[in-house]
Structure 1
Amino acid sequence: MICGVKQPILLVLVHSAPENFEKRKAIRETWGQDQEGVKLLFMLGIANESEVEKTLEEENVQYKDFVQGNFIDTYHNLTYKHVMVLKYAVYHCPEAKFLLKVDDDVFVNMPNLKIFMKLFMAQNSERKKILCSRMCGNPVLREGRWGVEISEYPESMYPNHCSGFAILYPHDTIFALYSEAQKTKYFWIDDVHVSGTLAKKLCVTHIGLEELILSDDEVVEIVDSSFINNTKPFLFGRMNLDVHQIRILWDFVSKYTPKKVILDYLNY
């Protein structure tokens, strides 16, 4: 068996901060629970605090679902984590048809995603693609949390890239990106570096999933207003969700099936 499952369709590697114990627990109990054809692991660096690291060791003894890199888990090391995701897929789960890199504050509509992947494979023979929420024409910020020095990135605009909270990589794209990462100068904003700079060098096409991601208002309708007539199919429940929202969304998708064709919402 490759990657611990028979005939793997999807490898899910979740970017998680060491201290996010409750978020990992919520994922394990909702959309990330064991299911056929899917392998899920949490990707972490080393915690800054020894007590957190000790608790992580205990958590992994219980669940055995971590991959931990040899770097401190900080924003400036996110690219190490993202490339670690690609490396794991290349060396430990090469037969998976898709890799989903996702953050631990995102909801994944796993029933819809499995349908979507099968439909996409049947209709797309050219696989040099990345599927995500696209970021186009973004200026390089020189100040603030995401401020970048000119010496780090001299250009004024970033290449088209993905919003990093959820990126779906078809199999044929993964090895090419990992190989390119070995010979390209490191840049710490991981979604720009991997899905932008590396993808541009490889002439990878970005396919937009914007219409398949719940908006803030749609999350509120489902979570707070118990709105059950939502027929729009979706794959992801946006970023920055709390544990309660993730659990409610899982309850929702476990009961209701969309009435429209998922692929109609793709943006090429």
Structure 2
Amino acid sequence: MFNCVFKPRLRTKALIVSAILGCLVFVWVKNNYSDEEVLKWITVSDNKLKDPLLNRHQFSYSLNTDICQSRKADIVVIVHTAVHNSLRRMKSRDTWAGIVQIDQHSIVTIFMIGQTMDYSMQRLLVQESRYHNDIVQGNFLDSYRNLTYKHIMALGWVNTHCPDAKLIVKVDDDVLVNLFNLATYIYKYGFQNDFLYCLSYTFSFPKRIPGSKWYVGYNDYPFMMYPVFCSGAAYLISPNAAMKLFQASSDIRFFWIDDLYVTGFLVLKVGLRHKQMIPGHDFVNTSTLTKDSMFLDAQYVWYSQWDYIIKSVPFPYKAAYGVLDGTTQGTTHLQ
């Protein structure tokens, strides 16, 4: 009897102590962090120290596309992809990226990529680019630590090459986009300016454990906390906001975590507000078939997931949507 009463009391006390310690740590971190100090630290004041690509925007393209010149693009989807991920690109083209119009809005999908030192791989990329006309290859080595270059290049490229764009959608190449949910969102809220819609992280802390994939030492970032930033797996941004972020990078020092750099540091500099994604829109990692999310990590159920989404289209409209037996057939118009 004594033990039955005593143990819950211990647990209650432990929870209270943990909560108090958590509050103290939070207050201490907040007192040792300020947006102003972060902005001061990340700003490159000496022109001699500016990065040719990140700050001076001296991007050039080994592979490029004129797709936005050949047809108007209301919605531009930029996909961060790696050189060797040709299978992921094909899976995207076979499914959601094969759609070029939805609810009277034209859609263009562009795959953003860096350089490779593998000659045979580059030759395959050239062939892929000629066939699909949807690859942009920048003048930096394609690597995980160079994603910030890719991110800035992509924002600048869209603003330069797709002047009619009303919305930019940024995704990684392992993300399946439910364009029906995207169309529903646009129908409800329309196209907006100064707009950044994402799954945002507040009170996020640097990983200080060596060996971690996201390890950041004190020399790389001296503060106890990061500014608010977005998950880079998928987000929506207005072209005017993307242009502001691109221009803001002209004097912001390089930081290898691209999500944090673009949607954290640059957003902080321009004073853009993050609009938090509502449930059903944010990035979902699932092996269960669903039509209730805008962005899905469905690598292992990719085609079955897409077929499940397509089958949710009302039957009378399947012919108009170019849908046969639950699958898209080539270039598809959804209207």
Determine whether 1:237 maps to 2:296.
Answer: yes
Pair 214,252 (structure 1): closer, same or farther in 2 beyond 3 Å: farther
> Counterparts in 2 of 1:28-67, with a 5 A limit?
28-36=93-101, 37-67=106-136
SS in structure 1 opposite 2:254?
Answer: coil
Determine whether 1:13 maps to 2:72.
Answer: no
Residue 29 of structure 2 aligns with which residue?
Answer: none
Contact 2:171–2:234 (CA under 8 A) maintained in structure 1: yes
Deviation for aligned residue 1:115: 2.7
Q: Distance in 2 between matches of 1:64 and 1:7?
A: 15
Q: Percent identity?
A: 32
Match of 1:132 among 180, 198, 215: 198
Q: Distance in 2 between matches of 1:7 and 1:54?
A: 30
> Counterparts in 2 of 1:69-148, with a 5 A limit?
69-121=138-190, 127-142=193-208, 143=210, 144-148=212-216
Q: Which amino acid aligns with 1:19?
A: H
Match of 1:195 among 263, 277, 282: 263
Deviation for aligned residue 1:148: 1.7
Contact 1:161–1:192 (CA under 8 A) maintained in structure 2: yes
Q: Distance in 2 between matches of 1:97 and 1:182?
A: 24
Deviation for aligned residue 1:178: 0.7
Q: Distance in 2 between matches of 1:5 and 1:58?
A: 20
Computed over aligned residues only, the root mean square deviation of the Cα atoms, in angstroms, reads: 2.1
Q: Matched residue pairs, number? A: 242
SS in structure 2 opposite 1:221?
Answer: coil
Q: Distance in 2 between matches of 1:214 and 1:76?
A: 23
Give ranges in structure 1 of 5+ residues lacking alignment.
223-229, 259-268
Structure of higher CA gyration radius = 2
Deviation for aligned residue 1:72: 0.5
Pair 94,151 (structure 1): closer, same or farther in 2 beyond 3 Å: farther
Match of 1:24 among 83, 86, 89: 89
Deviation for aligned residue 1:53: 1.8
Deviation for aligned residue 1:6: 4.8
Pair 77,209 (structure 1): closer, same or farther in 2 beyond 3 Å: same
Contact 2:67–2:133 (CA under 8 A) maintained in structure 1: no
Residue 178 of structure 1 aligns with which residue?
Answer: 246
Pair 177,214 (structure 1): closer, same or farther in 2 beyond 3 Å: closer
Q: Which has the larger displacement, 14-23 or 33-42?
A: 33-42
Q: Distance in 1 between matches of 2:259 and 2:148?
A: 8
Deviation for aligned residue 1:248: 1.6
Deviation for aligned residue 1:200: 1.1
Pair 214,191 (structure 1): closer, same or farther in 2 beyond 3 Å: closer
Q: Which has the larger displacement, 107-116 or 189-198?
A: 107-116
